[in-house]
Amino acid sequence: MKWIKYVFTVIGLSFITLLARADEGMWLPLFLQQLNEKQMKTMGMKITAKDIYNINSGSLKDAIVSFGGFCTGEVISSKGLVLTNHHCGFDAVQNHSTLEHNYIRDGFWAKNYGEEIPNPGLFVTFIVRIDDVSKQVLNGVNATMSESERQSLVDKNIAQLRKDVKRESYQDSFIRAFFDGNQYYLFVTETYKDVRLVGAPPSAIGNFGKDTDNWMWPRHTGDFSMFRIYAGKDNKPADYSPDNVPYVPKKSLSISLDGMNEGDFTMVFGFPGRTTQYLHSAAVEQIMKVNDPAKIGIREKALSVIDGFMRKDEQIKIQYAAKYAGIQNAYKKWQGEVLGLTSTNALAKKLAYEALFQQRVNANPQWKTQYGDLLQNLGSLYAELKPYGYARDYYTEIASKIELLTIAGWINSLKTAYDKDGEKGYQARLKQVKEQLGGLYEEYNGTVDQQLFATLMKMYVNDQEEIYQSPMLREKLKVAGNDFSELASGLYNSVDLDDKTATMAMLEKPSSEVLAYYKNNAAIRLYTDMVATYSNIVSKKLNEIQTGINKLNRTYMQAQMEVMKERKFYPDANSTLRVTYGNVKGYNPRDAVKYDFYTYLDGVMDKYKPGDYEFDVPEKLRQLYTSKDYGQYGKNGKMPVCFIAMNHTTGGNSGSPALDAYGNLVGLNFDRVWEGTMSDINYDPSICRNIMVDIRYVLFIVDKYAGAGHLVQEMKLVHPKKK
Ligand code: ARG
Ligand code: GLU
């Protein structure tokens, strides 16, 4: 009973913080007027909710795009110029880089429209309108339905609504679930598919500090790149054509050169990917104690294997750089998440919140019947989920790091396609497989992969119960005398899947030959055995439990909204357009340490390590620093670089504009501080901060460093503080 006393002490102390945290929330733009405008104004906003979202005339939302579906971008000129992060545009930069034109290393700037480079596959999407369609989507749904009956009715209603939706022929629409399926919203969209690369700084600026500084404050990264949207002659979306013209937007952002002071109002407008703010305490506990640690442990081993090779071999260093950064990004984030959940007593707060919820439910007879055992039932289901969740993380983390298994999976998909749709299915799949393999082999080294196999399979076998393991793998291990290196070399020597030339040549042969050749391939057989074990022992049960959890979560969400009335609810992120707002502010990461809210070019020079992979500084930038040649972008003889604020952001908010009280662009969101990455689960205003690059640094790099001042000419620069 001790925890109950503790829980009630926490309630007593922080009742206010439990229910109303001013800076928390990723809000739907269509409800700003109703839910947020008043508070936003109190916090310093000088414009209205209508200036942000208005479907009848151009508003700020018309300058915001989903960039390729994975990041955010914003239109910053009347000629369709789009700003996003360097790490969002990186794929495009990498694709156009060669040894002679190394845009990754040297940067790239188009001097005119003609030099802007098309990017097949890249698109940007505007949101034309958002409608609440909850009633229509849930029409006919009732409490006695099974989850699958419910889902098929929902799917049917969605399909009908999308058919009937009022939209122009060049527009599209999608419908998403919010609040765990209690509400549904329809988005009418406009997607432009001719998006050309305009410019990017060298990596030494755009990704300054790399993995060491990733997720960290103080930060000194100029994480930006620029693109341009092209449209048909009618300004409507059009497939790529050399005849397309720069898109004329309904709205483009004005840019403020005045900078931010502590306490200034900011908002971030973009497409946050996924958060889970309303989880049961048991789920939070599992993330902290089971899932994050498992994933961190596996990635730690994988990173140390790859790092060992990258340090010794220049070729491997280039090949594995992007992969390493990808693995490292979540690895570091999860560590910050566990740390932050611990340091802010997230679990105790959840328990306190649940205790209060339960108390209120118990006091109301109707709620008691409806919701009385909800928390307990959810808790039991999470307890059931625990071993399967762990097994899922083990399987997915390990299998996805061993690329021999990825190759085996792709080759195996040829057989699956053939069995299903014959020669036609095979040929269609073959085309994709060849493309995927081509990309994989570019960044693949068999020795590295074999070492990853040996290291990670040891974890697969030693860290989980036997029933979750592939019997074939255990058998092979026995044959190899329980030696994982033996096991790995035996396997890698017996197959030629990791030989690019042999495999690509094989795939040119007729399907019958290909299928026969790979029929008894040891890696493919191992792969299928691992998949079968996972699917039979783990995923079936996992999905069943998860379906139960989803259903209860839907009810729990509804119940929270009814019972915890004083709390302002916002839907979890789901890659739809949101607004978040908060003031510019430093923070105290730990005892006796206080972080300021701004960084300057002086800090770049402090970190400068000549020739270093992460902290080298280009000569031209050093010169500009020495001569203090900052033009209109500097302030009091200093060049601002990054700043932080209390905006509630997550992955997908990369490239989102940071706007000032007037809606002017002042920065570009690209990261969060390490101590506060748990904001996806439990936002805490004391240590959750988003990191933005100051727009003045962006323009300084474009103009003074890259000599692309003609782009600045396109933009509208303002000085709101001098008004
Ligand atoms: N942490 C930032 C975001 O999730 C930036 C990632 C890119 N930079 C890097 N060094 N990996 O996703
Ligand atoms: N870097 C992240 C992204 O790519 C944004 C940082 C975050 O997770 O908040 O979207």
Q: Are 656 and 529 members of one domain?
A: no
Confidence of residue 30 (pLDDT cuts 50, 70, 90): very high
- Tell me the CA–centroid distance for residue 286 and ligand 2, in Å: 23
Q: What are the distances in angstroms from CA 578 to CA 135, 273, 689? A: 22, 10, 17
Q: What are the distances in angstroms from CA 557 to CA 23, 154, 180, 492, 518? A: 21, 18, 7, 50, 50
pLDDT (average), residues 268-283? 98
Name the residue with higher pLDDT: 21 or 323: 323
DSSP 637-694: TB-EEEEEE-----TT-TTPEEE-TTS-EEEEEEEE-GGGGGGGT---TTT--EEEEE
Atom 9 of ligand 2, nearest CA residue: 650
Asked whether residue 147 is assigned to any structural domain, the reply reads no
Q: Which residues line ligand 2 (CB under 6 A)?
A: 649-654, 670-672
Task: Quote the DSSP letter at residue 113.
Answer: G
pLDDT (average), residues 670-687? 97
Nearest ligand 1 atom to the CA of 210 is 10
Query: Across the chain, what does the average pLDDT equal?
Result: 95
Asked whether residue 567 is assigned to any structural domain, the reply reads no
Question: Of 275, 185, 177, which Cα lies nearest the Cα of 573?
Answer: 275
Starting from the CA of residue 692, give the closest ligand: 2
- Tell me the CA–centroid distance for residue 266 and ligand 2, in Å: 18
Q: Are 263 and 290 members of one domain?
A: no
- Tell me the CA–centroid distance for residue 650 and ligand 2, in Å: 5
Asked whether residue 134 is assigned to any structural domain, the reply reads no
pLDDT in tens, 318-343: 889 889 989 999 999 999 999 999 99
Confidence of residue 4 (pLDDT cuts 50, 70, 90): very low
Instruction: Name the residue of 94, 214, 679 to mutate for ligand 1: max ligand atoms within 8 A of Cβ.
Output: 214
pLDDT over 70, % of the chain:
97
H or E segment at 194?
Answer: strand 194-200
Given 527, 555, 583, which residue is the final one in a domain? 555
**Catalytic site residue from 173, 254, 281, 654:** 654
Asked whether residue 128 is assigned to any structural domain, the reply reads no
Starting from the CA of residue 669, give the closest ligand: 2
Number of domains in the chain: 2
CA 158 to chain centre: 26
pLDDT in tens, 705-715: 999 999 999 99
Asked whether residue 139 is assigned to any structural domain, the reply reads no
Q: Verify whether ligand 1 is closer than 6 Å to residue 654 (CB atom).
A: yes
306 φ/ψ angles, rounded to the nearest 5 degrees: -65, -45
Q: Are 294 and 268 members of one domain?
A: no
Atom 7 of ligand 1, nearest CA residue: 87
Instruction: For residue 654, indicate whether it is catalytic.
Output: yes
pLDDT in tens, 130-172: 999 999 999 999 989 999 999 999 999 999 999 999 999 999 9
Q: How many whole angstroms separate alpha carbon 134 and alpha carbon 120?
A: 36
pLDDT (average), residues 119-130? 97
Q: Are 207 and 313 members of one domain?
A: no
Q: Which amino acid is at 299?
A: R
DSSP 129-147: EEEE-HHHHTTT--TTS-H
Contact 408, 526 (CB under 8 A): yes
Nearest ligand 1 atom to the CA of 215 is 1
Q: Verify whether ligand 1 is closer than 6 Å to residue 451 (CB atom).
A: no
Give every CB contact of residue 333 below 8 A, 6+ residues apart in sequence: 215, 677
190 φ/ψ angles, rounded to the nearest 5 degrees: -130, 120
Nearest ligand 2 atom to the CA of 272 is 10
Q: How many whole angstroms separate alpha carbon 279 and alpha carbon 284?
A: 7
Q: What are the distances in angstroms from CA 437 to CA 91, 157, 426, 430, 497? A: 17, 39, 16, 10, 10
pLDDT in tens, 219-267: 999 999 999 999 999 999 999 999 999 999 999 999 999 999 999 999 9
Burial readout 306-327 (b: 16 or more C-beta within 10 A, e: otherwise): beebbeeeeebbebbbebbeeb
Q: Are 613 and 705 members of one domain?
A: yes
Instruction: For residue 87, indicate whether it is catalytic.
Output: yes
* pLDDT value for 14: 45
Angle in degrees, CA 105, 403, 460, rounded to 5: 125
- Residue 345 in this model has a pLDDT that exceeds 90: yes
Q: How many whole angstroms separate alpha carbon 599 and alpha carbon 615?
A: 16
Question: Of 59, 12, 13, 14, which Cα lies nearest the Cα of 33?
Answer: 59
- Tell me the CA–centroid distance for residue 300 and ligand 2, in Å: 21
Q: Are 509 and 413 members of one domain?
A: yes
- Residue 17 in this model has a pLDDT that exceeds 50: no
Give every CB contact of residue 504 below 8 A, 6+ residues apart in sequence: 434, 437, 438
H or E segment at 554?
Answer: helix 540-563
Given 522, 555, 588, which residue is the final one in a domain? 555
Q: How many whole angstroms separate alpha carbon 271 and alpha carbon 715?
A: 24
Q: Verify whether ligand 1 is closer than 6 Å to residue 214 (CB atom).
A: yes
Confidence of residue 13 (pLDDT cuts 50, 70, 90): very low
- Residue 11 in this model has a pLDDT that exceeds 70: no
Of the listed ranges 15-19, 90-94, 151-155, 298-302, the one predicted with least confidence: 15-19
pTM of the complete model: 0.94
Instruction: Name the residue of 578, 650, 675, 677 to mutate for ligand 2: max ligand atoms within 8 A of Cβ.
Output: 650
Q: Verify whether ligand 1 is closer than 6 Å to residue 68 (CB atom).
A: no
Task: Quote the DSSP letter at residue 538.
Answer: I
H or E segment at 294?
Answer: helix 292-312
Q: Are 642 and 695 members of one domain?
A: yes
- Tell me the CA–centroid distance for residue 650 and ligand 1, in Å: 11
Q: Which amino acid is at 75?
A: V
Task: Quote the DSSP letter at residue 574.
Answer: -
Asked whether residue 629 is assigned to any structural domain, the reply reads yes
Q: Are 246 and 374 members of one domain?
A: no
Atom 5 of ligand 1, nearest CA residue: 671
Q: Are 239 and 309 members of one domain?
A: no
Q: Are 471 and 515 members of one domain?
A: yes
Q: How many whole angstroms separate alpha carbon 507 and alpha carbon 487?
A: 27
* pLDDT value for 304: 98
Asked whether residue 182 is assigned to any structural domain, the reply reads no
Asked whether residue 505 is assigned to any structural domain, the reply reads yes
Task: Quote the DSSP letter at residue 325.
Answer: H
- Tell me the CA–centroid distance for residue 491 and ligand 1, in Å: 35
Q: How many whole angstroms separate alpha carbon 644 and alpha carbon 646?
A: 7
pLDDT in tens, 416-456: 999 999 999 999 999 999 999 999 999 999 999 999 999 99
Q: What are the distances in angstroms from CA 255 to CA 148, 438, 632, 660? A: 49, 42, 13, 10
- Residue 8 in this model has a pLDDT that exceeds 80: no
Q: Verify whether ligand 1 is closer than 6 Å to residue 210 (CB atom).
A: yes
pLDDT (average), residues 2-31? 60
Given 509, 527, 555, which residue is the final one in a domain? 555
Question: Of 275, 334, 340, which Cα lies nearest the Cα of 578?
Answer: 275
CA 681 to chain centre: 14
Cα dihedral: 583, 588, 589, 594 (round 10): 110
Q: Are 296 and 265 members of one domain?
A: no
Starting from the CA of residue 653, give the closest ligand: 2
H or E segment at 174?
Answer: strand 172-178
Neighbours of 170 (CB within 10 A): 14
Q: Are 690 and 594 members of one domain?
A: yes
**Catalytic site residue from 62, 86, 87, 680:** 87
Angle in degrees, CA 214, 220, 222, rounded to 5: 90
Domain that holds residue 416: 281-555
Nearest ligand 1 atom to the CA of 209 is 10
Please give the structure tokens belonging to residue 709.
């001042």
Atom 12 of ligand 1, nearest CA residue: 651
pLDDT over 90, % of the chain:
92
**Catalytic site residue from 213, 223, 498, 703:** 223
- Tell me the CA–centroid distance for residue 680 and ligand 2, in Å: 11
User: Which residues sit opposite 270 in a β-bridge?
Assistant: 578
Question: Of 334, 305, 310, which Cα lies nearest the Cα of 321?
Answer: 310
- Tell me the CA–centroid distance for residue 207 and ligand 1, in Å: 9
pLDDT in tens, 191-223: 999 999 999 999 999 999 999 999 999 999 999
Atom 2 of ligand 2, nearest CA residue: 651
Instruction: Name the residue of 672, 673, 683, 692 to mutate for ligand 2: max ligand atoms within 8 A of Cβ.
Output: 672
pLDDT (average), residues 624-629? 97
Starting from the CA of residue 86, give the closest ligand: 1
Instruction: Using DSSP bridges, classify how beta strands 255-256 and 717-718 pair: parallel, antiparallel or unpaired.
Output: parallel
Q: Give yes or no for a cis peptide into 29 (omega within 30° of 0).
A: no
- Residue 495 in this model has a pLDDT that exceeds 70: yes
Longest dimension (CA), the chain: 79
